[in-house]
Amino acid sequence: MTSTIVIGAGIAGLSAAWELQAAGVSVRVIEAAPVVGGRMGDRFENGIAYNSGARLIYPFSRDLHRIIEAVGIRSLLVPLKGLSALCDSPDGPYSIELMPSSKALLTPGLSLVERCRLILAAVALRARKRRVDPDWAVSALDWDHVTLAECIRKGIGDGVLKRMIEPVFRGTRSFDADAISALFYQSTMPHLVGEDTVFTLAGGMGQLCAALANRLPVETGVAVTAVEQHADQCAVTLADGRELFADYVVIATEGARIAPLLVKPSRQESEMLAAIRYNALGVAHFAVSGSLEPGIEFAMRDSPTRIATYQQLDAAPQQGRPNAQVYCQLTPEAIREVQAQCATDRLDEWVVDEVRARIPDFDRRRLSTVNQWIPHKIPIFYPGYGSVLRRFLDWQDTGTSRIRYCGDWVSQALLGGACASGVRVAGQITGQ
């Protein structure tokens, strides 16, 4: 029987292990953290419930939805229709659509030409739906050397970039439109035009990874220190001194953490791993007494704020949220300031004055605080990254290495892409 060690019990690693086990492969999953899920998990601290990363499931991720069905938790999918938010701008707040729809034409501050171009852009995106895969950014490789800002500015207009694209991308993903390529936009948007529903999971986003882990041999709380490929097998060294052997190793950790594990990386691996970049995410969570009016707000780039996303959630004990909560995600600029001052454990200090301005009696009502710092939140598909990734995927497809890779950095900056990469690498090992 073929044997495989999977390193990392996030959605990518667990998806790979699930597919391998279903194909009759002997699987063993090793996870350094005390819990599974990685950036698709749930946390509870100081009376505050929050996600470890992923917050939404998109309708287009076929492998992800198939696995949700296979583990029997489809009934936990909670549809969220017509999501929108307020956007704070220097000339006042306005409504912004989180799913592309005709309502976007009502966005204030756009010229007539930009509104007409929005319609043409939607038609063009929809026409490209069959040619791009939303779980694989490289399926839109023609846009690899074009920044998102350039793509929107030249194709639709500067007003659309400032009032629609930047607030959403900065608020949901902490992306800088001038620093990322158009791959994410051009591979996912064709599958979102005309859609109005995304999903979350009742009981928390961690339900899927927990369900998978319950059906797989997973060992948590054990770090891997080295991975080495030999002629006919791979060796994995653990922090506790054990050495494990298997026919294949699947590395499903964050891409930024892989390079130190490899004993003798190939030229192709070294080139790929040197190209990986992630953005960081900082969120200050506050629990408050009493009720809060639910709502979510984004901010334009030139708004005088350190908060890219401000969200109020009322208490929902049945959903594991005993208190009303405030979610404050820092802007990319504030995140860079925090990093420069080594203040990642004091994020609340950067936003508390703004929260006080929104909730006048905040100091009296404040119950607790959690500072959430995610050093590797989302892989950055910057201009040129897709070409490096395409060469690496072609090399991995040759099957010359017994060490395989999966994760969002190798597929798409979404949990659906991470899942699809796990399924793909399992197929490479099993020949299916």
Ramachandran class of 109: left when φ > 0, alpha when ψ lies in -120 to 50, beta otherwise:
left
- Kindly state the average pLDDT of the residues 341-346: 96
- Give me 380's structure tokens: 């950055």
pLDDT band at 102 (very low <50, low <70, confident <90, very high): confident
Query: Alpha-carbon distance 399 to 21, whole Å?
Result: 20
| DSSP string for 273-315 | HHH--EEEEEEEEEEESS----EEEEE-TTSS-SEEEEEEE--
pLDDT band at 98 (very low <50, low <70, confident <90, very high): confident
User: Is the pLDDT reported for residue 359 higher than 80?
Assistant: yes
User: Dihedral angle at the C-alpha atoms of 387, 388, 390, 391, nearest 10 degrees?
Assistant: 120
User: Is the pLDDT reported for residue 357 higher than 90?
Assistant: yes
Query: Alpha-carbon distance 227 to 30, whole Å?
Result: 12
pLDDT score recorded for residue 145 = 97
* Long-range CB contacts for residues 305-312, cutoff 8 Å, separation at least 24: 305/88, 305/331, 305/354, 306/330, 306/331, 306/333, 306/334, 306/350, 306/351, 306/354, 307/331, 307/334, 307/351, 307/354, 308/170, 308/171, 308/174, 308/332, 308/334, 309/171, 309/172, 310/354, 310/358
pLDDT score recorded for residue 227 = 98
What are 129-162's pLDDT values in tens digits? Answer: 999 999 999 999 999 999 999 999 999 999 999 9
Name beta bridge partners: 86.
95, 297
What are 280-303's pLDDT values in tens digits? Answer: 999 999 999 999 999 999 999 888
Query: Alpha-carbon distance 194 to 101, whole Å?
Result: 6
- Kindly state the average pLDDT of the residues 215-226: 98
What are 298-323's pLDDT values in tens digits? Answer: 999 888 999 999 999 999 998 889 99
User: Is the pLDDT reported for residue 217 higher than 90?
Assistant: yes
- CA dihedral sign, ordered 35, 37, 38, 42: negative
- Kindly state the average pLDDT of the residues 213-219: 98
Kind of pairing, strands 243-246 and 234-238? Answer: antiparallel
pLDDT band at 251 (very low <50, low <70, confident <90, very high): very high
What are 397-427's pLDDT values in tens digits? Answer: 998 899 999 999 999 999 999 999 999 999 9
> Nearest 5°: phi and psi at 105?
-65, -20
Half-sphere exposure of 2 (CA within 13 A, CB side): 16
- Kindly state the average pLDDT of the residues 33-49: 95
Query: Alpha-carbon distance 25 to 317, whole Å?
Result: 42
Picking from 299, 277, 289, 286, the residue whose alpha carbon sits closest to that of residue 328 is 286
Helix (H) or strand (E) holding 365: helix 362-365
* Long-range CB contacts for residues 424-427, cutoff 8 Å, separation at least 24: 425/16, 425/250, 426/15, 426/16, 426/17, 426/18, 426/19, 426/20, 426/23, 426/25, 426/250, 427/19
> Nearest 5°: phi and psi at 391?
-65, -40
pLDDT band at 396 (very low <50, low <70, confident <90, very high): very high
User: Is the pLDDT reported for residue 432 higher than 80?
Assistant: no
- Kindly state the average pLDDT of the residues 44-73: 95
pLDDT band at 1 (very low <50, low <70, confident <90, very high): confident
Q: In the chain, what are the helix, strand and coil shares in percent, each to the nearest 5?
A: 40, 25, 35
Q: Please, what is the average pLDDT of the chain?
A: 95
- Give me 7's structure tokens: 């390193």
DSSP state of 13: H
Half-sphere exposure of 132 (CA within 13 A, CB side): 28
Cβ–Cβ < 8 Å for 121, 155: yes
Which stretches within 93-236 are classed as H helix? 112-127, 148-155, 158-160, 166-173, 183-188, 207-213
pLDDT score recorded for residue 302 = 87
Query: Alpha-carbon distance 169 to 300, whole Å?
Result: 10
Amino acid at 216: L
- Within its chain, how far is the Cα of 154 from the centroid? 27
User: Of 95-104, 232-241, 251-260, where does mean pLDDT reach its minimum?
Assistant: 95-104
* % of the chain surpassing 90 pLDDT: 91
Query: Alpha-carbon distance 285 to 358, whole Å?
Result: 15
Better-predicted residue by pLDDT, 145 or 195: 145
